[in-house]
Amino acid sequence: MEWKGKWIGPAQSMGDVCPVFAREFNKGDFPGKEIESVQLQVTAMGVYEAQLNGKRVGDYVLAPGWTSYETRHQYQCYDITELVEDRNRLEITVGKGWYRSPVPGWITEEGKAQRAAIPAGLIAELKITFTDTTTAVIPTDETWQAAESRIRFSEIYDGEVYDASFEVSDYQPVVLLERTTGNLIPQQGEKITEHEYVKAARCFTAPNGEVVVDFGQEVTGYIQFTLDAKAGEKVEISHGEVLDKDGNFYNANYRSAKSKIYYTCCDGVQTYKPKMTFFGFRYIRLDQFPGTPCADQFYAVAVHSDMKRTGRLRSSNPLLNQLFSNIIWGQKGNFLDVPTDCPQRDERMGWTGDAQAFVKTASYNFDVDRFFTKWLADMAADQRPDGSIGHVVPTLYVGSGSAAWDDAAAICPWQIYLTYGDKEILRQQFDCMKKYIGFITNSTKDPYLWTGGEHYEDWLGLDAPVGSYKGSSRADFIASAFYAYSTSLVVKAGRVLGEDISEYERLYQGIVDTFRKTFTDYRTQTEHVLAVHFGLAEDPQKTADALAEMIKACGSKLQTGFVGTPYLLHVLSSYGHTELAYTLLLRTEYPSWLYPVTKGATTVWEHWDGIMENGDFWSTDMNSFNHYAYGAVADWVYEAAAGIQTVEDAPGFARVKIAPQPDSRLDWLEASIETRKGTVRSLWKQEEGRIRYEITTPSPAEIVIAGETIEVGAGDYIFYSEIA
């Protein structure tokens, strides 16, 4: 579209202070006209909050979100008709956001200095429509003004400094910025909004004398507090995820992220919450706070992309239910416009490896169609000239070309297609998928394998050599397995789109044949898992059996990392080892999904032993307590334990397969997914010496009960089977 508004910025730099831009307009400016509607179209180089006559415009938090700004910079449209008065003042405050913050925080690179030098830019248009159908536009131009706001500092990692006693005045002229409007696009992803308000559970004095507030749940967002104070009194607050083994506040794992709030009070009762930043936290430490604080003064405000909840899991096991809750909170906390790895430390980036591991679970838990469509569009926009994919999207200076991470280019769009049934996501991403396969083909040292290069391998695999974050699975094995898998997805996507994929069919067969000749033995749990799950093992039953024996031999413990864990239970249950899969799921000792639950986790951890059995921390440099990737186990619960499965030739749950697999260690298990066709539900429970199944399907289904297949239409059904 043609923008009448121009990019504007303060005439003089305000340093770290967030500028507020202002423009007045009155109904009297348009004599003889009656206003029918007023629309505000706006975006910023940073994040913004707009107010008309002192009232907030819209509920979008941290607008315009995070995209690959150079090519895809979102703008938002708001209907502000109801806020318009006879005399009006529009104010828009702009913070650094992702656009101008020093991300990523833990490495030094040229891009940080460049981002820090970018001015706080704003572009907007007020479009006024009159009852006679004529229009008027008030664009950002030299008639606007800018002043220092009460937000004296705001940045993604370090937090916010706010002075409620500061009088905003001394408005200065603005200048036009030489910035393009050619990259501006309408809002594509889900907006970011406030969701749950979690009331503080307790306010207590820690053993070391510090005052700490516990919200009882780790959230991503910010706090809101209310207090009665005098002008000039100070509030200083630090954020943390956990307490140490002595019960004291701890946040050394935030690394260089300060994650602080500094607030200067005005007179009287006042309420504050940050406007231009977010935190990952369960606890806050009151470093300064007027009066005697109590829990009733504090709320944690959960902030994430505005996704509809679609999936639910419940069982008779309280620890398992807590795990299900942790997975949901982990997804909410890390689906803040991009699928971040973690929300608290000096990182918070869209890691592709985490996203591809979790995308299936994500798409069952919430409607993430729009969320991933936007993020994958950024991936395609940022794809390197050689076809590789950045380790993080939007792409920053972190590198590209790692197996399983780059493979998000194929895995994510295919899963979104399977869950929602809309081939448009494949059409949007197909060129990106093909270019990625081309990158591997052109960069490998050995034809039909992926050899050479630098990879994260089986990241955080428990069988890693001492001193390594990588598991013991062979890099070339993992890379070649994912090469095969992603090529197979290009073939499948091409068939859906009606494309000529003969080249990729031949390539895929060549990879499979070469893989089988090259890798004649499987040495780790992850190697067994990938060989079976990706269809590379010549004898998948034998390989799955060997995996089961390997797991039992080490005490029924998993040793897989980021690469193997998402598929581990699927492989076991697909080849007759469902009981062992349940054993791993229900295990409470380290390492296991339930071990963190026994340590009080309310989100999924980065490390199985982020808090070790003796209460010490695994490390300070890489120890997130809200890291959603291992929550991918939920898709096994949906698909295998509860039995709800998509059918590839009927995507979007147009046809359903429901094949529950009960286990005697649970009295009952229930799963439901709200699909595009309606809600599919599976409940099984032990009842008087037999198992009762309650199944709801919104579309034709193949129901498998105790090995017997029943074809049914949409409806509610009850079945029984004997306990095995």
Residues annotated as catalytic (active site), given as ranges? 347, 606
Place of tokens 């990523």: 104
Q: Are 201 and 214 in contact (CB under 8 A)?
A: yes
* Of 357, 361, 353, nearest in space to 332 by CA: 361
* Of 648, 605, 381, 357, nearest in space to 493 by CA: 648
Q: Give SS3 for 691.
A: strand
**Rounded Cα distance, 38 and 125, in Å:** 10
Place of tokens 């979104």: 416
For residue 337, give the DSSP letter. Answer: S
Angle between helices 318-334 and 352-365 (to 10 degrees): 120
Burial, 540: exposed, middle or buried (Cβ in 10 Å; 0-12, 13-18, 19+)?
middle
For residue 18, give the DSSP letter. Answer: P
> What Å distances lie between residue 346 and 68, 341, 448, CA to CA?
19, 11, 39
The per-residue DSSP string of 378-421 comes to HHHHH--TTS--BSBSS--TT-B--TTTTTHHHHHHHHHHHHH-
> What Å distances lie between residue 218 and 157, 300, 302, 702, CA to CA?
17, 9, 9, 40
Angle at 596 (CA atoms; ends 329, 304), nearest 5 degrees: 15
* Of 220, 210, 216, 215, nearest in space to 250 by CA: 210
Q: Are 252 and 316 in contact (CB under 8 A)?
A: no
Residue by residue, what is the 3-state secondary structure of 80-116?
A: CHHHCCCEEEEEEEEECHHHHCCCCCCCCCHHHHHHH
**Rounded Cα distance, 705 and 267, in Å:** 68
CB atoms within 10 A of CB 204: 12
Residues 519, 520, 524, 529: what is their CA dihedral angle, to the nearest 10 degrees? 80
Place of tokens 């031999």: 553
**Residues 6 or more apart whose Cβ sits within 8 Å of residue 292:** none
**Rounded Cα distance, 630 and 645, in Å:** 20
HSE, side-chain direction, 13 A CA sphere, residue 185: 17
Q: Are 629 and 358 in contact (CB under 8 A)?
A: yes
